[in-house]
Amino acid sequence: MNSFNLHLIFFIFTLSSLTQAEINKEYIIEVIMFEQLEIIGDEILKPQILDIRNINSVTLLDKPQIRINEEKISQSFNQAGTNLILDQAFKEKIIDTQNETLDEKKPLKKINEKIWFEKQVNLNQLDNIYRRLDRRQEYKILHKQSWRQPALEKESAPFVHEIFENNGFLIKLYKSRYLHLEVMAYIDGDLKSALNEDLIKEIKFEALQSSIPKDITNHSIEIDKELINLPQIFIPNFEMLKNSSTSSQIIEVGEVKYLLSEQRRIFKNESHYFDHPKIGVIISVYDSSL
């Protein structure tokens, strides 16, 4: 075997290994959407119809709140005759401290699919850009958001639909050979899509399944028939869940005043700017291990 064929085989093997490794990666997505108050250029912008009926979308999940037992905290100070009042800033400081403690205990590179598609308001990579935009009079920040998710294949990856007032964006991260972003952002449009929490559960479940080693021993366990019939036992059927999204108050076709629509190949750990005469969207996609 000559050296060229040897190098070619090594390259193919390396490429397949990298592709397999990418399946188990997660990314943090940070988004800033703003309105450009001064129209750039002399283009006449007309309202457009946005139709999202045929796209697969999910809505970000609210982060579970940590409840504080104010009475117990007050008693711990042992100050006779003093009523301790916990203001909101103090509560948030306690919560942040608890979150930091939990984060320190986690392995740096361990993927936690439980928090995929969960809202994270704080920005990391885009924080400086956000602050600079917020000081400029020609821009009006409409929204900022961040979350974690995997990069699935194009056909399987859902759009994340985030709505704020009468504005919104739909962002899809997917991976073929490279990472890609599809972005739709709109101003002044009354659109509502299905929450699709069950689709998020399915994505998490499949990720959990793929993380189990294939050579693990398969044990058969007999379960009593009466136990299976208990109401507490739930056997998920993901094909059924996929089609069981709540259809109430869903508006998937409507007129929007301004519409930005673009897709492009991207590189991870970089910031990407999507431009429109009236809309600006800045997106950062980076490894969760950073």
Within 10 A of 267 (CB to CB), how many other CB atoms are there? 9
Report the percent of the chain where pLDDT is more than 90.
55
- The CA distances from residue 90 to 69, 81, 141, in Å, are 13, 21, 27
- Report the pLDDT value the prediction gives residue 182, as an integer from 0 to 100: 98
pLDDT tens for the chain, residues 1 to 290: 444 343 433 333 333 333 344 446 899 999 999 999 987 677 789 999 999 999 999 999 998 765 555 555 555 555 544 444 445 555 555 556 655 555 555 444 578 899 999 999 899 999 999 999 999 999 999 999 999 999 999 999 999 999 999 999 999 999 999 999 999 999 999 999 999 999 999 999 998 888 777 666 665 656 666 655 655 544 444 444 444 444 458 999 999 999 999 999 999 999 999 999 999 999 999 998 76
Instruction: Map residue 9 onto helix, strand or coil.
Output: helix
pLDDT in tens, 194-222: 999 999 999 999 988 887 776 666 656 56
Predicted pLDDT at 135? 96
Of 70, 103, 76, residue with least CA distance to 88: 70
Dihedral class, residue 223 (left if φ above 0, else alpha if ψ from -120 to 50, else beta):
beta
Compute the half-sphere exposure of residue 263: CA atoms within 13 Å on the CB side of its CA: 12
CB 161 within 8 A of CB 170: yes
Specify the pairing of strand 57-58 against strand 159-164: parallel
Q: Is 124 helix (H, G, I), strand (E, B) or coil?
A: coil
CA–CA separation, 76 vs 73, rounded Å? 5
H or E segment to which residue 97 belongs? helix 88-105
The pair of three-digit structure tokens given for residue 34, joined into one six-digit string: 């703003």
| Stated pTM of the model | 0.69
Domain ranges of the chain: 24-62+89-212+221-287
CA–CA separation, 10 and 14 (whole Å): 6
Q: 55: part of which helix (H) or strand (E)?
A: none
Q: Give exposure, 71-101, as e/b (b: 16+ Cβ within 10 Å).
A: eeeeeeeeeeeeeeeeeeeeeeeeeeeeeee
pLDDT on residue 47: 96
Q: And the tokens for 281? A: 């969207």
Structure tokens at 100: 């930091």
> What values do phi and psi take at 210, rounded to 5?
-70, -20
Query: 50-61: buried (b, 16+ CB within 10 Å) or exposed (e) per residue?
Result: bebeeebbbbbe
pLDDT, tens only, 46-85: 999 999 999 999 999 998 765 555 555 555 555 544 444 4
Structure confidence at residue 233 (pLDDT): 47
